[in-house]
Structure 1
C-alpha cells in the first residue's frame, strides 16, 4: 500500500527522468500537497454511491447475468424472462420507491441502466428472483454473494475493529474470486478503491455517513426549483433566493424540524388490545395501566423513517438476529412504542443471503421504542419466486449486531 514516503519517491523519479510519462500511476505532485494540513495520501474522501452502487455492483451483475442468460447452454433464463420476473417480484413497502427499471444487458457500458438505489435494491432482491434456478456451489453466483458480504460491512452505520479486519479478508477474497471467475475481464479502478475502505473505516468511521447520496438529494431540490421557475436568466440567483426563503420559513416556524409525524388512528384504552399484548404493554411502558388511554396509529414517520404494521424490526441479537413484526404503533406522552409479534429466526441461508424466519408459536410480544432497536430501519418479509417454496426470508441492508 502506498504511503507518503513512497509517494514522494515516485514523484522524484518522475521529475528526474526526462520524457517519463508516469511512475506507478503518478505523473506529478499534486498542488494540494502545498497545503499545510493536507496531503493527498491522508485523503479519505470516497463515495459508496459511485464506487459500489453505480460501479462495482452493476458491472458484476451484468457479467453474471450475461453468463446465465447467454454464455451457458441451456441458459437459465432470457433477458425478457428476467425482466418479467423483476416486474412480478414483490419488493415490499420499504423498497417501493427503489424498484429496478428495465434491466439492460446488451449495452456496451459497464452498467445495467439502474440508479444507485435501484442497484442496491436489485442486488439484495436478486437471490429471490433467480436464486432458485442456480446451484449452491456455482462460482459465478458465489461472486455476487461475496460482494454482498462485503457490502454488509461497507454499508453498516456502525463499525467495530473486528468487522474492519473481516472486511479486509472479504475484499481480498472477492477480488481473487473475480479474477478466477472472469480471467478475461479487468478489475475496475473502483475495485481498487475498495481495497482502501478498511483503512478509511479506521480513520473516519462508517463510510455511509460520507457518501454522496445526501448531496444528490439536496441537489434534486435545486433542480426542482429551476424547473418550476422556468426562468434561466441568472438561474444561480433564482435558486439561491428560493432556498434562503425556504430556510427562513422553516427556522421561523413553530416546528422547524419535524421529528414525528403521526398518521390517522384511534384513541383507545389499553385493555382494548389483545390480552397478551396488554400485559406486555403495561409492564413495559412507564405509567400505563389497563385503563390508560393511548393512541394507536396506522403509521408514523419518525425522524424520516416510516413505520407501519406488518413491517419487521430487529429488536435484539443473540446467536442470530431476532425480528418482530409490528402489530400496533402506540403513542403515549409523545413517545412512540412498537408492539412487535416475535418471529423465530431459523437460520442464515447463504444462498439467498438472508435469514429464514417464521411466526413463533405460541404467540409472543415485545414492546420497543425506536432507540431500543438494534436497527431502526424496517424490513419486509420476502419470498422466493419459486411457488413451491414456502419459506419466508428477511434480508437486512447491513450486518446486525448489538
Structure 2
C-alpha cells in the first residue's frame, strides 16, 4: 500500500539494509514486563488470598521469614524489603520492590511460605506456574521443548489468573507474554534482550543527579562527569577492575572429601 496518509510510511527503514530489520528483529523486555509488571499483579492476588482470605499466614510471619532467610552471596544485595503489615491489597498497584528485589522474592517465595500453604490451593498453583515461566524466560539457553512448554505455561497462567477465584483482568503486559515463545524461537534467550544492564548504567547518573546542587543544566553536569570518568579509565589503562576480593575461608582439596569417588563418576572430562 503506497498511501502515506494511511500507513505513515514514506520509504524503507534505513536499518533494514544492516543487521537489524525493523520488522523481523523482534524484542521484548522481561524486566519491565515480568519483574515490574506481571509479578506485581500476580503476587497482589496471591498474597491477598493467602493472608486476607485464607489466613494461612500473616505479613508479619512473611516479613520475619524474609528477614531471617539465608540468602546466597549473589542474592544478599537483592533481598526483598519487608511488606507493610497494613498493606492494602485492593487499592495498591505494586509493591515497593525494585526489579532485582522482585526477582529474588519470586524465586524464594516458595521457600518462605511453602510449608504453610496447601499444595492444592489455586493461589499456590498460580505461583508455581509463574515460577516455571520465570525459570524458562530467564534461562541462558533455548530449545524447542522449552518454547513449547512456555507456550502451555502462559496459557495456563492466564486461565488461572482470570478464573472465578481471582477474577483478574489481563493487562497489556500479560499480552506481551503471549508472544514470548515465538520471539524466543526467532532470536534466542529473552534475557539477552532485557534492559537491566542499561538501567544499571543509568543508576550511576541518577545517583549523581540526586546529589548535585546545580539545576541549571543537569544533563551537562552528568555528561561532563561521565566523560571525565571515561578519560580517567583510558589514561590509567584501567577499563575493568580485575581484582577479586575474597572473604575469610580455607582451601579444601577434592581428594580429601568423603564423596570424592562418587564425584569422579559423575564428573565429565574437560574439553
**What TM-score results when the alignment is normalised by the length of structure 1?**
0.56
Aligned to 2:267: none
Q: Distance in 2 between matches of 1:341 and 1:217?
A: 41
Greater relative contact order, per chain length (Cα 8 Å cut-off, separation 6+):
2
Secondary structure at the counterpart of residue 257 of structure 1: coil
Matches within 5 A, 1:338-377: 361-363=258-260
Q: Distance in 2 between matches of 1:69 and 1:130?
A: 11
- Do the aligned partners of 1:32 and 1:39 also contact (CA within 8 Å) in 2? no
Of the three residues 139, 158, 167, the one matched with 2:141 is: 158
Comparing 164-173 and 189-198, the one that deviates more:
164-173
Secondary structure at the counterpart of residue 101 of structure 1: coil
- Do the aligned partners of 2:205 and 2:222 also contact (CA within 8 Å) in 1? yes
Matches within 5 A, 1:169-184: 169-180=152-163, 182=165, 184=167
Of the three residues 36, 43, 46, the one matched with 1:54 is: 36
Secondary structure at the counterpart of residue 133 of structure 1: coil
Runs of 4+ in 1 over 3 A off after TM superposition: 31-35, 37-43, 339-342, 360-366
Unaligned runs of 5+ in 1: 1-7, 9-14, 16-27, 264-297, 300-307, 310-326, 330-338, 343-359, 367-371, 373-402
Aligned to 1:201: 184
Counterpart check, 1:91 vs 2:74 = no
Secondary structure at the counterpart of residue 163 of structure 2: helix
Counterpart check, 1:114 vs 2:94 = no
What are the Cα deviations for residues 58-99 of structure 1, in whole angstroms up to 9, with x where unaligned?
A: 211111111011112xx1112233222222222232211111
Comparing 147-156 and 204-213, the one that deviates more:
204-213
- Do the aligned partners of 2:254 and 2:260 also contact (CA within 8 Å) in 1? no
Unaligned runs of 5+ in 2: 265-269
Q: 1:175 to 1:40 in 2, by over 3 A?
A: farther
Aligned to 1:271: none
Matches within 5 A, 1:255-270: 255-258=238-241, 260-263=242-245
What are the Cα deviations for residues 151-178 of structure 1, in whole angstroms up to 9, with x where unaligned?
A: 1110012222332222112212222232
**What TM-score results when the alignment is normalised by the length of structure 2?**
0.81
Q: Distance in 2 between matches of 1:87 and 1:257?
A: 34
Secondary structure at the counterpart of residue 262 of structure 1: coil
- Higher helix fraction: Structure 1 or Structure 2? 2
Q: 1:181 to 1:130 in 2, by over 3 A?
A: farther
Q: 1:45 to 1:140 in 2, by over 3 A?
A: same
What are the Cα deviations for residues 16-42 of structure 1, in whole angstroms up to 9, with x where unaligned?
A: xxxxxxxxxxxx75x478543498764
Give the drift of 1:224: 2.4
Q: 1:110 to 1:249 in 2, by over 3 A?
A: same
